[in-house]
């Protein structure tokens, strides 16, 4: 089914099931511990052995020799895989990192071996006996030091041009009566998901089956085939439950590759869970950025010039952090410039992390917008409203499909009590605490992609949905069940959803904020075909028949749904594909974040006290699940603002704080009351579902709202994240 004209009225508009706050259909499995995650599967083709990965102890150089004698003789050891016996390995189509070092080492904790033994304890003990002699080499580990050698990225590595210019930015900026020229920094950040990267791999002849943690199953199958040099059709990936990913489990990572190699070497299934201390330097992360923002404006607050430049680093051939993405679309302004540069760094690979580009870019842009508003003497909410645009500012002939940024800002301001904010910083005290309010706008792309599903109806009237879509805690099982239930006129309890198996039809996968809108559209398409087959079996007219309460009705005639399948199960498989609406319309989600902080007047410690997100993201398929996604994103935004910083040892080339003791993330005690408001709307240009993703919008702008609130509380402007007390303390007003 092809979607190439805006959606009109259809079955999903009934919102009997869609749009309702349905509880997670998989909630009982998760709360009782019976949902099987990758490492917990048991029927894997035989008793599994255990693999432990040995990570490189240098950041750059070569392996001169490896003594496996003691490790090989250790109790229970079945095999040890290194580059010497693994066979020729390639790289995947998404990650550029080599899964196995040898003889060259590309970054710290790159896998150099996997030790396989009967038990995990035996494998771990033997792994500690592997003796590796390295010849360290020189590497590049300091982004600032490499800035002068940065270059424009490979066009294939960015979604849109790395350098853009509209109008005369330089001239307009020079002529502007009010100017801002400021530099901002965001650090390297870790996904730090609860479930580690984990795989159980099992071979049967030339067929490989992996129970794994991969967000995009089709990509994982493709990339694992590319790495191992085997046909993708000989690979089956099974990943029904993923315990958090945030982009860090996008496709074939080290655990999947090393478990596959280990199982082949040992001749039996092998379980590999990447040790937490390896995850930070072995897998991908959000790369650090150095950003420069210049804004020129007139006395009435209109932006006349806006320029945004960003530098990030990566392994050779790697992608870059597209931090200028939001600036291209968020505010009006006739004279514009954006520029991206990338430096080669010998650190672990930088790649997608929740809202890649927008999250880090807005951490800078939305501070700069506040600074510009203050320079002009305008309220920061009003400054954002004045510079709203209903068309792509670089292409005025391309309107936004829907855009309610002003309504997000005004609704949030009224709900949060913004009118009580003191414009002059450091004016409000409550005992030892200085109180401040901050705001930031949010924007995140709303991509949608081809997604397929198979839907079955059996003789008992039960519906089964099958697609390789994954659930990373986002609620995929539930919204897909809601879609099928709405389309076929049954309750959610009459629908079973099966996910995360590469033998199922290829879906969008989870990532990019495209999963919900895309995967539900694939189920919609399959259900349209199944409805036609049901009405044909009942000899009803497909165009006029209605499906409700387990009954199909056509005029004066009706029949129970299950009657259509009495002659045998009815099956429909279909994919939703798309035309050029994404080119004709700027499809984006929008929001506004409001934050109240308290800063200790003597120590500079920051406490977030209140948070509000107002979101505009088309039709909300399930407000309960959507709220859960947004408050999770807001929590990650608190971490990015106040805590998270993968500290680089620029001498030895690794992230020093590579565990959850040294890399701090927010816990429940750090998070205050959070409110979320969804603006009622639908976007007919997206799909028949008229929905957009929302899971990444919630993190966009949060960091800047917190930094702006800290400034309002203290008068201290921090442009270098995270906003820690050492950066505040010196500038605090005298007690």
Q: Is the pLDDT of residue 409 over 90?
A: yes
156 — pLDDT class (breaks 50, 70, 90): confident
Give the tens place of pLDDT for each residue, 442-463. Answer: 999 999 999 999 999 999 999 9
Give the tens place of pLDDT for each residue, 526-547. Answer: 999 999 999 999 999 999 999 9
Instruction: Label the pairing between strands 463-466 and 451-457.
Output: antiparallel
Sign of the Cα pseudo-torsion (199, 465, 471, 444, in order) = positive
**Angle, alpha carbons 513-647-293 (nearest 5°):** 60
- pLDDT at residue 158, as a whole number: 86
Query: What DSSP assignment string belongs to 601-664?
Result: TTT--EEEEEEEEEEE-BB-S-HHHHHHHHHHHHHHHHHHHHT----EETTTTEES--STTTS-
Give the tens place of pLDDT for each residue, 634-652. Answer: 999 999 999 999 999 999 9
258 Cβ contact list (under 8 Å, min separation 6): 51, 53, 81, 99, 100, 111, 114, 199, 272
**Angle, alpha carbons 704-707-710 (nearest 5°):** 150
Q: Where are the alpha helices (DSSP H) in 551-615?
A: 581-584
Across the range 126-137, mean pLDDT stands at 98
Q: Are the C-beta atoms of 255 and 249 separated by less than 8 Å?
A: no
Q: Exposed, middle or buried by CB within 10 Å (0-12, 13-18, 19+), for 594?
A: buried
Instruction: Label the pairing between strands 270-273 and 49-55.
Output: parallel
- pLDDT at residue 157, as a whole number: 82
Would you tell me which CATH number, out of the four given (3.40.47.10, 3.30.365.10, 3.40.50.2300, 3.30.565.10), belongs to the domain 2-35+448-582? 3.30.365.10
Element (H, E) at 291: strand 289-297
- pLDDT at residue 59, as a whole number: 98
Q: Is the pLDDT of residue 25 over 90?
A: yes
Q: Exposed, middle or buried by CB within 10 Å (0-12, 13-18, 19+), for 186?
A: buried
Q: Where are the alpha helices (DSSP H) in 377-505?
A: 380-386, 405-416, 476-488
466 Cβ contact list (under 8 Å, min separation 6): 453, 454, 455, 456, 498, 501, 504, 505
What are residue 464's DSSP bridge partners? 456, 496
- pLDDT at residue 513, as a whole number: 96
Give the tens place of pLDDT for each residue, 583-617. Answer: 999 999 999 999 999 999 999 999 999 999 999 99
Give the tens place of pLDDT for each residue, 324-374. Answer: 999 999 999 999 999 999 999 999 999 999 999 999 999 999 999 999 999
Distances (CA, A) of 373 to 257, 296, 331: 51, 11, 13
310 Cβ contact list (under 8 Å, min separation 6): 289, 290, 291, 292, 321, 322, 323, 324, 339, 340, 341, 361, 364
- Residue 696 appears among annotated catalytic residues: yes
Give the tens place of pLDDT for each residue, 191-244. Answer: 999 999 999 999 999 999 999 999 999 999 999 999 999 999 999 999 999 999
Residue in 85, 93, 48 with CA at minimum distance from that of residue 66? 85
Give the tens place of pLDDT for each residue, 702-726. Answer: 999 999 999 999 999 999 999 999 9
Question: What are the residue ranges spanned by the domains of the chain?
Answer: 2-35+448-582
- pLDDT at residue 710, as a whole number: 98
- pLDDT at residue 425, as a whole number: 98
- pLDDT at residue 277, as a whole number: 97
376 — pLDDT class (breaks 50, 70, 90): very high
Q: Is the pLDDT of residue 159 over 90?
A: no
Which member of 366, 371, 573, 696 is catalytic?
696
Q: How is residue 291 written in tokens?
A: 């950003």
Q: Are the C-beta atoms of 129 and 83 separated by less than 8 Å?
A: no
Percent of the chain surpassing pLDDT 90:
99
The mean predicted confidence, pLDDT, of the chain is 97
The SS3 assignment for 167 reads coil
Give the tens place of pLDDT for each residue, 542-571. Answer: 999 999 999 999 999 999 999 999 999 999
Instruction: Label the pairing between strands 395-399 and 391-392.
Output: antiparallel
Terminus-to-terminus CA distance in the chain, angstroms?
67
Count of residues for the chain?
A: 735
Q: Are the C-beta atoms of 295 and 184 separated by less than 8 Å?
A: no
Give the tens place of pLDDT for each residue, 241-296. Answer: 999 999 999 999 999 999 999 999 999 999 999 999 999 999 999 999 999 999 99
Across the range 499-505, mean pLDDT stands at 98
Residue in 603, 612, 646, 617 with CA at minimum distance from that of residue 432? 603
Q: Is the pLDDT of residue 735 over 90?
A: no
CA distance 618 to 587: 10
Q: Exposed, middle or buried by CB within 10 Å (0-12, 13-18, 19+), for 21?
A: exposed
- pLDDT at residue 160, as a whole number: 86
Sequence-ordered strand ranges (E) for 458-605: 463-466, 495-498, 546-548, 551-554, 557-560, 570-578, 588-600
Distances (CA, A) of 103 to 63, 97, 132: 5, 15, 11
């Amino acid at each position: 089914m092809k979607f190439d004209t805006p959606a009109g009225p259809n079955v999903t508009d009934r919102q009997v099931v869609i749009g309702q706050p349905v509880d997670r259909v998989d909630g009982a499995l998760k709360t009782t511990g019976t949902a099987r995650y990758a490492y917990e599967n048991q029927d894997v083709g035989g008793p599994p052995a255990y693999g432990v990965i040995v990570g490189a102890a240098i950041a750059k150089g070569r392996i001169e020799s490896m003594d496996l004698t003691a490790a090989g003789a250790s109790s229970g050891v079945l095999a040890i895989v290194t580059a010497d016996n693994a066979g020729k390995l390639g790289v995947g189509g998404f990650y550029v990192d080599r899964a196995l070092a040898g003889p060259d080492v590309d970054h710290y904790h790159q896998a150099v071996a996997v030790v396989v033994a009967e038990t995990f304890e035996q494998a771990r003990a033997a792994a500690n006996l592997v003796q590796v002699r390295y010849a360290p080499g020189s590497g590049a580990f300091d982004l600032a030091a490499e800035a002068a050698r940065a270059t424009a990225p490979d066009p294939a590595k960015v979604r849109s041009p790395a350098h853009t210019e509209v109008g005369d930015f330089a001239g307009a900026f020079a002529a502007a009566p009010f100017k801002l020229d400021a530099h901002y920094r965001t650090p390297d950040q870790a996904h730090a998901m609860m479930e580690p990267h984990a795989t159980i791999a099992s071979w049967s002849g030339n067929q490989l089956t992996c129970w794994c943690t991969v967000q995009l199953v089709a990509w994982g199958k493709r990339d694992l085939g590319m790495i191992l040099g085997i046909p993708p059709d000989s690979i089956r990936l099974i990943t029904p439950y993923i315990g958090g990913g945030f982009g860090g489990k996008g496709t074939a990572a080290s655990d999947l590759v090393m478990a596959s190699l280990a199982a082949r070497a040992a001749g039996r299934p092998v379980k590999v869970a990447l040790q937490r201390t390896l995850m930070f330097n072995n897998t991908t992360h959000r790369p650090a950025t150095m950003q420069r923002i210049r804004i020129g404006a007139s006395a009435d607050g209109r932006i006349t010039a806006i320029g945004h430049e960003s530098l990030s680093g990566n392994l050779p051939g790697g992608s870059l952090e597209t931090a200028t993405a939001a600036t291209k679309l968020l505010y009006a302004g006739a004279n514009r410039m954006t520029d991206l540069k990338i430096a080669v760094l010998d650190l672990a690979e930088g790649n997608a992390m929740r809202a890649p580009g927008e999250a880090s870019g807005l951490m800078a842009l939305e501070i700069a917008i506040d600074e510009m508003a203050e320079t002009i003497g305008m309220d920061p909410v009003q400054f954002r409203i004045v510079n709203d645009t209903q068309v792509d500012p670089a292409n005025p002939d391309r309107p936004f499909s829907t855009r309610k940024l002003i309504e997000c800002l005004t609704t949030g301001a009224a709900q949060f009590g913004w009118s009580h904010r003191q414009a002059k910083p450091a004016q409000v005290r409550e005992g030892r605490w200085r109180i401040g309010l901050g705001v930031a706008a949010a924007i995140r792309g709303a991509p949608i992609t081809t997604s397929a599903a198979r839907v079955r109806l059996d003789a008992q009237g039960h519906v089964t949905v099958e697609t390789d879509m994954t659930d990373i805690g986002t609620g995929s099982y539930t919204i897909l069940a809601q879609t099928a239930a709405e389309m076929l006129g049954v309750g959610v309890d009459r629908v079973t959803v099966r996910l995360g198996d590469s033998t199922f039809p290829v879906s969008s996968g989870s990532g990019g904020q495209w999963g919900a809108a895309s995967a539900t559209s694939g189920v919609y398409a399959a259900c349209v075909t199944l409805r036609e087959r049901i009405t044909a079996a009942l000899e009803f007219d497909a165009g006029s028949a209605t499906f409700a309460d387990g009954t199909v009705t056509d005029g004066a005639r009706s029949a129970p749904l299950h009657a259509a399948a009495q002659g045998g199960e009815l099956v429909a498989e279909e994919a939703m594909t798309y035309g050029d609406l994404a080119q004709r319309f700027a499809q984006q989600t929008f929001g506004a974040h409001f934050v109240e902080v308290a800063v200790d007047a003597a120590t500079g410690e920051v406490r977030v006290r209140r948070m509000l997100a107002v979101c505009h993201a088309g039709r909300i398929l399930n407000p309960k699940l959507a709220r859960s996604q947004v408050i999770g994103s807001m929590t990650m935004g608190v971490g990015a603002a106040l805590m998270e910083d993968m500290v680089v040892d620029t001498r030895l080339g690794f992230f020093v704080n590579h565990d959850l003791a040294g890399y701090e993330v927010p816990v429940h005690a750090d998070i205050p009351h959070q409110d979320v408001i969804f603006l009622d709307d639908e976007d007919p240009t997206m799909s028949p579902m008229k929905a957009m993703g929302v899971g990444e919008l919630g993190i966009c702008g949060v960091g800047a709202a917190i930094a702006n609130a800290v400034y309002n509380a203290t008068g201290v402007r921090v442009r270098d994240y995270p906003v820690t007390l050492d950066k505040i303390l010196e500038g605090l007003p005298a007690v």
